[in-house]
């Protein structure tokens, strides 16, 4: 039977103390690295989920644009989004009002 080396004397052997400290630091770094990898994986999953939701919202917006465009009862808003100077009289007044109301209107 081979003789086992005696356990290091941590109190009297400076090399053993340094080794134990280095081992504790290494284990701590491993733990932190593992935690960061798990957090990175979770963040990546959230980014992927957010990107799919963005695509879904863009598709919904396109569907709504088509529905608005094809709705026969939709008011003729696009006509009044152009410069009011192109109209005369009542149409010019309506155009000026509509530009204020629909300032942030997204054209179809």
Q: Would you give the DSSP letter of residue 24?
A: H
The count of C-alpha atoms lying within 13 angstroms of the C-alpha of 80, restricted to the half-sphere facing its C-beta, is: 18
- Outline where DSSP puts E strands in the chain: none
* Tens-digit pLDDT profile for residues 66-86: 887 777 676 655 554 555 556
* Tens-digit pLDDT profile for residues 37-64: 999 999 999 999 999 999 999 999 888 8
Average pLDDT of the residues in 97-108: 52
Domain spans in the chain, listed from the N-terminal domain onward? 75-108
Residue 102 has pLDDT above 50, yes or no: no
* Tens-digit pLDDT profile for residues 3-30: 566 665 656 677 777 888 888 999 999 9
């Amino acid at each position: 039977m081979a003789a086992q080396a005696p356990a290091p004397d941590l109190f009297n052997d400076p090399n053993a103390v340094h080794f134990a400290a280095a081992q504790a630091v290494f284990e701590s770094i491993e733990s932190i690295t593992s935690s960061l990898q798990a957090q990175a994986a979770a963040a990546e999953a959230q980014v992927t989920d957010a990107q799919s939701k963005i695509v879904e919202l863009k598709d919904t917006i396109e569907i709504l644009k088509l529905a608005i465009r094809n709705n026969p009862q939709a008011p003729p808003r696009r006509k009044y989004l152009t410069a009011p100077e192109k109209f005369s009289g009542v149409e010019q007044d309506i155009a000026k009002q509509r530009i204020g109301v629909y300032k942030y209107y997204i054209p179809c």
